[in-house]
């Protein structure tokens, strides 16, 4: 086992140090305190700013997102579909998304104040009230303003069919979480902005990083890996799935559920970090990701008391540790 997963294991060993160093810097993206937070309803931009944003939008964005922000080649930037995706997130998240990844065909060139003007235009079209003060560009101020959350989508979820499990838990881990989190961990030492060298594109057909590099950009790969990690968390709760040793995955245990939530949060945090296109931010986010894996593995995977026939004691996996 150690040989097969030595790459991940060594990342995790490296990360033990990084976690300690990271702790002093505080959490990466503190959850906005709902009581103190302002929302986009609190008149956070001016009409003049929205007018500037409108002109820029027509020039740079309308071709994909539609003149009226109702979507086209790209998703709508107003209405319930937009708020369904962005409700609960801060204006900093929105501004960063625009500044770092838009326009999708020529990203990274908007200034902070142009990006803020564009946010103001989005807010005006979204019928959020304007006010006396312009929307600023500083992170702390923008993080404190959230877009209002949408009503829950629980009714949709209850209509969705339950799809049966195809693989066991070990296959799910090795097939989805292992490659995806390795891509994210790779950002610690590889800058995704650096394009692959001509001779290296498409090498190593089974290395996701090399193989994918011919099709998606480095940052797209990291985005997609982080989304895969977050979206795979519910699969750890699929009824009927078994572990490799045949035991049922303990989907009803509160700590198991908590660990899967931790995994989803870590995936979302990694995605958010990746969207800032900052190698440093993703490197910091890998601490949370490594913890999310370790927290569950400590209890449910890494069992002491192996035998010669079963050195890593796989037979004992998927039952809670004594005292754990
Ligand atoms: C070449 C087409 C194109 C242009 C031009 C473009 N976008 Fe986008 N935009 C996309 C696509 C495709 C997506 C969906 C994928 C993604 O989120 O990156 C997107 C997503 C977004 C999102 C997130 C929407 C959501 O529902 O998550 C925002 C906000 C956004 N764009 C703003 C802008 C702004 C502002 C501009 C102009 C500065 C702009 N875009 C220009 C193609 C474009
Ligand atoms: C909710 C609990 C939980 C979380 C979260 C979790 N794992 Fe696992 N993982 C397990 C269990 C249990 C096994 C053993 C599965 C089996 O034997 O069927 C396992 C097995 C694995 C394996 C196979 C190793 C082997 O020896 O068979 C890999 C690789 C792995 N996990 C990677 C990850 C990574 C990477 C993350 C985080 C991104 C992660 N896991 C998050 C519970 C979890």
Q: Which residues of 256-279 are buried (b: 16+ CB within 10 A; e: fewer)?
A: beebbebbbbbbbbbbbbbbbbeb
DSSP string, 86-155: HTT-BHHHHHHHHHHH-STTS-S---HHHHHHHHHHHHHHTTPPP-SS-----HHHHHTEEPPPPPP-HH
Q: State how far the Cα of 14 lies from the Cα of 264, in Å rounded to an integer.
A: 22
Ligand 1, residue 94: give the atom nearest the CA.
Answer: 29
**Could you tell me the CATH number of the domain that includes residue 99?**
1.10.760.10
**Phi (first) and psi of residue 245, to 5 degrees:** -85, 5
Number of domains the chain contains: 2
Residues 178 and 308 in one domain: yes
Residues 224 and 128 in one domain: no
126 lies in some domain: yes
Nearest to 102 by CA among 275, 280, 278, 281: 275
pTM of the model: 0.71
Residues 23 and 66 in one domain: no
Pairing type for strands 38-39 and 145-146 reads: parallel
- Give 171-222 pLDDT, tens digit per residue: 888 888 888 888 888 888 888 887 767 766 555 445 666 655 567 778 888 8
Residues 302 and 269 in one domain: yes
Q: State how far the Cα of 29 lies from the Cα of 14, in Å rounded to an integer.
A: 22
Distance 83 CA to ligand 1 centre (A): 14
* Residue 165 contacts residue 238 (beta carbons within 8 Å): yes
* CB 264 less than 6 A from any atom of ligand 1: no
1 lies in some domain: no
Share of the chain above pLDDT 70, in %: 77
155 lies in some domain: no
Distance 113 CA to ligand 1 centre (A): 18
Domain interval for residue 118: 41-147
97, two tokens: 């998304």
86, two tokens: 């962005």
Instruction: Report, in this order, helix, strand and coil percent for the chain, each rounded to 5.
Output: 55, 0, 45
Residues 169 and 311 in one domain: yes
* CB 191 less than 6 A from any atom of ligand 1: no
* CB 227 less than 6 A from any atom of ligand 1: no
* CB 85 less than 6 A from any atom of ligand 1: yes
- For ligand 1, atom 37, the nearest C-alpha belongs to 61
Residue 97 Cα distances to 117, 218, 221, angstroms: 14, 17, 16
Residues of the chain predicted below pLDDT 70: 1-37, 151-163, 196, 199-214, 322-324
* CB 260 less than 6 A from any atom of ligand 2: yes
- Give 208-255 pLDDT, tens digit per residue: 666 555 677 788 888 988 999 999 999 999 988 989 888 899 999 999
152 lies in some domain: no
Distance 41 CA to ligand 1 centre (A): 23
User: Which of 55, 75, 88, 89, when mutated, tests ligand 1's pocket best, judged by the most ligand atoms within 8 Å of its CB?
Assistant: 75
């Amino acid at each position: 086992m150690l040989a097969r997963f030595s790459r991940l294991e060594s990342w995790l060993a490296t990360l033990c140090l990084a976690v300690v160093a990271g702790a002093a810097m505080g959490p990466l993206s503190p959850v906005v305190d709902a009581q103190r937070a302002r929302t986009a309803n609190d008149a956070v931009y001016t009409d003049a700013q929205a007018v500037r944003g409108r002109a820029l939008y027509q020039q740079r964005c309308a071709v994909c997102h539609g003149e009226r922000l109702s979507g086209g080649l790209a998703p709508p930037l107003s209405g319930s579909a937009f708020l369904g995706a962005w409700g609960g997130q801060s204006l900093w998240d929105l501004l960063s998304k625009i500044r770092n990844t838009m326009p999708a065909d020529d990203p990274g060139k908007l200034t902070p104040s142009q990006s803020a003007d564009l946010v103001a235009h989005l807010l005006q079209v979204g019928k959020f009230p304007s006010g006396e003060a312009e929307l600023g560009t500083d992170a702390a101020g923008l993080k404190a303003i959230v877009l209002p959350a949408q009503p829950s989508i629980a009714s949709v979820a209850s209509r969705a069919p339950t799809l049966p499990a195809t693989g066991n838990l070990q296959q799910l881990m090795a097939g989805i979480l292992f490659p995806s989190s390795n891509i994210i961990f790779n950002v610690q030492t590889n800058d995704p902005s650096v394009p692959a060298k001509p001779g290296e594109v498409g090498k190593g057909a089974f290395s996701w990083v090399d193989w994918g590099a011919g099709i998606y950009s480095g940052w797209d790969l990291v985005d997609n890996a982080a989304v895969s990690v977050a979206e795979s968390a519910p699969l750890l709760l699929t009824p009927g799935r078994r572990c490799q040793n045949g035991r049922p995955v303990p989907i009803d245990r509160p700590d198991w559920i908590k660990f899967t939530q931790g995994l989803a949060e870590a995936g979302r945090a990694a995605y958010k970090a990746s969207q800032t296109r900052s190698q440093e931010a993703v490197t910091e986010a890998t601490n949370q990701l490594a913890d999310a894996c370790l927290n569950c593995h400590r209890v449910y995977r890494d069992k002491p008391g192996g035998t010669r026939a079963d050195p890593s004691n796989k037979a004992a996996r998927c039952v809670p540790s004594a005292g754990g």
